[in-house]
Amino acid sequence: MAPAEPPAPPRRGWITWLLIGLCAGLGYGATHRLLRYPFSTEGWGGHLRFGVKPVPGTSLDSLRQRSGERNQTLRADLDKLQAERDRQREQAETDRRQAELETRDRQEEPAAAEAQPPAAEPAAPTLPAEPDLEAPIASPLLSPPEPAAAEPPAEPPAVPTNQP
């Protein structure tokens, strides 16, 4: 007789799923209760742990009172101001480069005048003579094609026969 194998222990996987379900239900219930809780001054007594402080700096109303125009809105086109600054910066850069080029040209001008002797008047350019259109052009690249030599027709290959 073969020895009997001990039975496999029962699986306890259902306990894991039970714990996961209980945790999810507890989280859902707590979230639901918190969302339904009225957060008004009556519910928690309305006592703050700190006092409200004003924002530091000068308020817009005080600036308007200083200028005397209370109902006028403040307008500023920041893109336009930035474009104007960029244009001025590019103009200044262009002017600076132009001044550098002029200074360099003035410095190179006397050195170039000393290095070159005074040149005589340039000669008038001469044109090449017109080619004769009547004469044929001889070119070694364009020789007439040679006729191909006629080859005798090839005989069909002999088929070997195996005869005893």
> Does pLDDT of 2 surpass 90?
no
Residue in the block written with tokens 């000393």: 114
Residue 87 pLDDT grade (very low, low, confident, very high; cuts 50, 70, 90): very high
Q: Where are the beta strands (DSSP E) in the chain?
A: none
Residue 158: its pLDDT value, please? Answer: 67
Q: Which pLDDT value is given to residue 6?
A: 83
The half-sphere exposure of 121 on its side-chain side, counting CA atoms within 13 A, is 2
| Model-wide pTM > 0.85 | no
Report which of residues 4 and 3 the model is more confident about.
Answer: 4
Rg (CA), the chain: 52
Position 121 confidence tier, pLDDT thresholds 50, 70, 90: low
Q: Give the pLDDT of residue 61.
A: 79
Each residue of 6-20: pLDDT tens digit? Answer: 887 777 788 999 999
Return mean pLDDT, the chain: 76
- Say whether pLDDT at 39 is over 80: no
How far, in Å, are 95, 97, 117, 160, 162 from residue 110 at the CA level? 24, 21, 13, 98, 103
Distance (Å, whole) CA 133 – CA 87:
63
Average pLDDT over residues 28-44: 75
The angle at the Cα of 17, spanning 12 to 19, to the nearest 5 degrees, equals 100
| 27 pLDDT tier (thresholds 50, 70, 90) | very high
